[in-house]
């Protein structure tokens, strides 16, 4: 049976007297799922990110993480299950070097120096930063800093990773780095649950499931090909659709059907030519 | 005569340091009035250094940047020559306050530079600084805020209580309030969602249509494709070429400059690589391309 690791129940949030930013939102996420959460400016997605990471508390409704309610009493325990990669790569780099930064979370865990070195090495390799261990943050690009943050979280072996608009301050190269890294991570560890709050629709297209928020409510919650099926509908709520799907839709009107599993530009070109 | 010309300029940071590094090497090209220039190149290619010579924030170590009637240079030989041939006084060569009014600079994450307690005061700062009266500065600020789509209900709000996209628009208003004839923007869309991005870009387009010359430093090739009239490519501190966006994206050497290719051109390239049997070299829109694919399927 599918195991629920995150459950959001009738969640509402508003700052004093103001209109509701989140209005009775419910959804759940299963173990091992990679879910992207999208929505335009003001849709409530950043507020939802803050609630999930317990920076804000809901006015109404509940969040359960791994069957524990997210509240003051449980937060310490829950933090051992959940890792968050934030938007600004500079604000989360704590160590003075890449090595220190990846080790930071491990230092509280009573791990021998020797063992720690090994772990740091292993996880820096997973994110492709093994040749930068002694570098200082000033010498790294935004994408590289985010990769270091991800390594630090992976090293802790947590069950759930939340990406809170982790690519929105990066250049296109950095966005693609992180996009690919998440996919690779998921492949290596199918039990890892990933929730990415993002405005990168190309990323959403590659995830298992997309939740679309609009004006504080869930607008869609489905597999990517269903969510992005109707271009006009998405445009109405100020969202675009992925490039590959745009081409597929236009070909469809000409009566040309493309395999549903084709998701990248390269695959699409190959499919058409072969 | 060109509005802006870079004349064989080089720039060396920490010239005295034996490990000094040439951020610009012998760059020469010019920009015409009314151009919409996108300046592209890999991180560290010299883009930001180049634009900072436009208003004298940085002085070329050799060569000179000419903007309107101003010469920007730190090259002693050239200074000597200018004094002799054009009778320009040395102190005039260092007086950049008027130039800074003509060349508006919007740096990366300009919202971090907001500082006043109200939005209107923040936008008035530039005009006041350039010597306008309080009344005139306020008039200019209101016009600029109007231009960026921030209405009067915001004037007395703190710049810290508005959204990210709004903050950036307020920061741009602060620059255009001084009515510059040249507007330089360093990565104006980084960190904004697609909607915020569109807002900023259509704003820049509107400013361009009113006659302002635009120079935009960007990594975003979709911006280049959709908005720029010309693209300037820098690589390893050198000027490589100035071309139209479609010339750039159709050229074979694009990957040499570490530029992200827009999805459309990436797709075209893959089609060619996998041996697509129709000629698509001169196709520049999605619909035309889809028609060609349709032909292949006999539709």
Residues of B in contact with A256 (CB under 8 A): 293-294, 297, 299
Q: What is the four-CA torsion angle of A89, A93, A96, A102, rounded to 10 degrees?
A: -110
Q: Over chain A, what is the mean pLDDT?
A: 90
Domain ranges (residues) in chain B: 4-261
Instruction: For strands A60-65 and A4-13, give the pairing.
Output: antiparallel
Lowest model confidence (mean pLDDT) among B142-146, B195-199, B211-215: B195-199
Report residue A1's pLDDT band, with 50, 70 and 90 as the boundaries.
Answer: low
| CA B55/CA B130 separation, integer angstroms | 14
Would you say B186 and B38 are in contact if contact means Cβ atoms under 8 Å apart? no
The DSSP 8-state label assigned to residue B193 in this structure reads: -
Q: What is the mean pLDDT of residues B15-23?
A: 78
| CA B139/CA B129 separation, integer angstroms | 15
CB contact under 8 Å between B276 and A273, yes or no, is yes
pLDDT in tens, A110-139: 888 899 999 999 999 988 899 999 988 887
| CA distance readout (Å), B146 to A112, B122, B139, B173 | 61, 14, 11, 9
pLDDT in tens, A75-105: 989 988 999 988 888 887 888 899 999 998 8
What is the structure's pLDDT at A10? 96
Q: Is the pLDDT of residue A195 over 90?
A: yes
Name the CATH topology of B4-261. Answer: Rossmann fold (3.40.50)
Coil, strand, or helix at residue A60? Answer: strand
Would you say B23 and B49 are in contact if contact means Cβ atoms under 8 Å apart? yes
Report residue B43's pLDDT band, with 50, 70 and 90 as the boundaries.
Answer: confident
CA A46 to chain B, closest CA, distance in angstroms equals 12
CB contact under 8 Å between A272 and B196, yes or no, is no
Report residue B64's pLDDT band, with 50, 70 and 90 as the boundaries.
Answer: very high
The DSSP 8-state label assigned to residue A89 in this structure reads: T
Coil, strand, or helix at residue A72? Answer: coil
Tell me the range of A95-99, A205-209, B112-116 where mean pLDDT is highest.
A205-209
Interface of B with A (CB under 8 A): 43, 163, 165, 187, 190-196, 219-221, 258, 260, 263-264, 266-267, 270-271, 273-277, 286-287, 290, 293-294, 296-297, 299
Neighbouring C-alpha atoms within 13 Å toward the C-beta of B236 = 2
Q: What is the mean pLDDT of residues A180-209?
A: 92
Report yes or no: A274 at the B interface, CB cutoff 8 Å: yes
Report residue B31's pLDDT band, with 50, 70 and 90 as the boundaries.
Answer: very high
| CA A237/CA A214 separation, integer angstroms | 7
CB contact under 8 Å between B193 and A141, yes or no, is no
Q: Is the pLDDT of residue A160 over 80?
A: yes
Report residue A269's pLDDT band, with 50, 70 and 90 as the boundaries.
Answer: very high
What is the structure's pLDDT at B184? 96
What is the structure's pLDDT at A24? 94
**DSSP per-residue string spanning B19-73:** T-EEEEEEEEEEE-TT-EEEEE--TTSSHHHHHHTTTTSS--SEEEEEETTEEE-
What is the structure's pLDDT at B238? 95
What is the structure's pLDDT at A220? 95
Q: What is the mean pLDDT of residues B183-209?
A: 87
Residue B207 Cα to chain centre, angstroms: 13
| CA distance readout (Å), B81 to A108, B11, B64, B87, B243 | 66, 19, 12, 9, 33
| CA A246/CA A230 separation, integer angstroms | 10
Chain A, residues 238-267, CB within 8 A of chain B, namely: 238-240, 243, 246-247, 250-251, 254-256, 265-266
Q: Is the pLDDT of residue B16 over 80?
A: no
Report yes or no: A1 at the B interface, CB cutoff 8 Å: no
Q: Report the candidate in A5, A63, A1, A73 with the shortest Cα–Cα distance to residue A33.
A: A5
pLDDT in tens, A211-262: 999 999 999 999 999 999 888 899 888 888 999 999 999 999 999 999 988 9
Q: Is the pLDDT of residue B91 over 80?
A: no
Report the predicted TM-score, pTM, of the whole model to 2 decimal places. Answer: 0.75
| CA A53/CA A195 separation, integer angstroms | 11
**DSSP per-residue string spanning A160-209:** EEEEESTTTTS-HHHHHHHHHHHHHHHHH-TT-EEEEE-S-HHHHHHSSE
What is the structure's pLDDT at B208? 96
Percent of chain A whose pLDDT exceeds 70: 100
What is the number of CB-based contacts under 8 A between chain A and chain B? 84
Residues of B in contact with A274 (CB under 8 A): 274
Q: Which of A41, A201, A256 sits opposite B196 (nearest CB)?
A: A41
Instruction: For strands B213-217 and B182-186, give the pairing.
Output: parallel
Determine the residue of chain B that is closest to A241 in CA distance: B194
Lowest model confidence (mean pLDDT) among A17-21, B28-32, B97-101: A17-21
Coil, strand, or helix at residue B231? Answer: strand
Neighbouring C-alpha atoms within 13 Å toward the C-beta of B13 = 11
- In DSSP terms, B184 is beta-bridged to B105, B215
What is the structure's pLDDT at B198? 84
Q: Is the pLDDT of residue B235 over 80?
A: yes
Q: What is the mean pLDDT of residues A169-198?
A: 87
What is the structure's pLDDT at A107? 84
Residues of B in contact with A268 (CB under 8 A): 267, 270
CB contact under 8 Å between B260 and A266, yes or no, is no
What is the structure's pLDDT at A222? 96
What is the structure's pLDDT at B5? 97
Determine the residue of chain A that is closest to B271 in CA distance: A269
Q: Could you count the other beta carbons within 10 Å of the beta carbon of residue B180?
A: 21
Q: Is the pLDDT of residue B287 over 80?
A: yes
Q: Is the pLDDT of residue B257 over 70?
A: yes
Higher pLDDT, B244 or B193: B244
Q: Is the pLDDT of residue A172 over 80?
A: no
CB contact under 8 Å between B267 and A254, yes or no, is no
Q: What are phi and psi of B170, to 5 degrees?
A: -65, -40
Report yes or no: A188 at the B interface, CB cutoff 8 Å: no
Residues of B in contact with A173 (CB under 8 A): 219, 258, 260
What is the structure's pLDDT at B71? 92
């Amino acid at each position: 049976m599918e195991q629920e690791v995150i459950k959001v129940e009738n969640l509402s949030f508003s700052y004093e007297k103001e209109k509701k930013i989140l209005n009775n939102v419910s959804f759940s996420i299963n173990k091992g799922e990679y879910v992207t959460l999208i929505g335009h400016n003001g849709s409530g997605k950043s507020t939802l990110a803050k609630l999930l990471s317990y920076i804000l508390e809901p006015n109404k409704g509940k969040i359960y993480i791994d069957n524990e309610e997210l509240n003051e009493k449980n937060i310490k325990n829950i933090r051992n299950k959940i890792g968050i990669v934030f938007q600004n790569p500079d604000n989360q780099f704590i160590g003075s070097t890449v090595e220190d930064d990846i080790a930071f979370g491990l230092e509280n865990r009573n791990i021998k120096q020797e063992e720690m070195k090994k772990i740091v090495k292993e996880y820096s390799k997973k994110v492709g930063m093994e040749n930068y261990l002694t570098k200082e943050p000033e010498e790294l690009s935004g994408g590289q800093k985010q990769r270091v943050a991800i390594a630090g979280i992976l090293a802790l072996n947590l069950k759930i990773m939340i990406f809170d608009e982790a690519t929105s301050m990066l250049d296109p190269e950095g966005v693609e780095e992180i996009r690919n890294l998440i996919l690779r991570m998921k492949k290596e560890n199918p039990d890892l649950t990933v929730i990415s709050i993002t405005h990168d629709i190309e990323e959403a297209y590659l995830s298992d499931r997309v939740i679309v928020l609009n004006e504080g409510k869930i607008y869609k919650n489905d597999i990517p090909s269903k969510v992005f099926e109707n271009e006009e509908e998405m445009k109405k709520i100020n969202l675009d659709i992925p490039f590959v799907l745009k081409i597929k839709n236009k070909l469809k009107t000409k009566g040309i059907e493309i395999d549903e599993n084709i998701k990248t530009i390269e695959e699409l070109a190959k499919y058409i030519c072969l | 005569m060109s509005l802006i010309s870079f004349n064989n300029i080089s720039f060396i940071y920490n010239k005295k340091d034996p490990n000094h590094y040439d951020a610009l090497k012998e760059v020469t090209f010019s920009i015409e009035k009314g151009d919409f220039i996108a300046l592209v190149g890999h991180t560290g290619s010299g883009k930001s250094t180049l634009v900072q010579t436009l208003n004298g924030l940085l002085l070329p170590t050799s060569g000179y940047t000419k903007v309107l009637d101003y010469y920007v240079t730190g090259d002693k030989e050239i200074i000597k020559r200018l004094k002799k041939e054009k009778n320009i006084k040395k102190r005039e060569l260092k007086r950049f306050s008027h130039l800074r009014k003509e060349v508006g600079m919007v740096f990366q994450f300009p919202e971090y530079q907001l500082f006043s307690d109200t939005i209107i005061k923040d936008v008035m700062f530039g005009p006041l600084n350039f010597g306008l009266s309080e009344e005139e500065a306020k008039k200019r600020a209101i016009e600029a805020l109007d231009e960026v789509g921030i209405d009067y209900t915001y004037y007395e709000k703190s710049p810290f209580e508005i959204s990210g996209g709004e903050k950036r628009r307020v920061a741009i208003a602060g620059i255009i309030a001084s009515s510059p004839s040249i507007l330089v923007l360093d990565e104006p869309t980084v960190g904004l969602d697609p909607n915020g991005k569109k807002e900023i870009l259509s704003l820049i387009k509107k400013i361009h249509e009113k006659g302002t010359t635009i120079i935009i430093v960007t990594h975003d090739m979709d911006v280049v494709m959709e908005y720029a009239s010309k693209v300037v490519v820098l690589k390893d501190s050198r000027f490589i070429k100035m071309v139209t966006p479609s010339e750039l994206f159709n050229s074979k050497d694009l990957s040499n400059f570490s530029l992200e290719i827009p999805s459309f051109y990436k797709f075209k390239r893959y089609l060619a690589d996998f041996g697509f049997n129709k000629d698509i070299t001169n196709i520049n829109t999605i619909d035309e391309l889809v028609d060609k694919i349709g032909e292949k399927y006999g539709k």
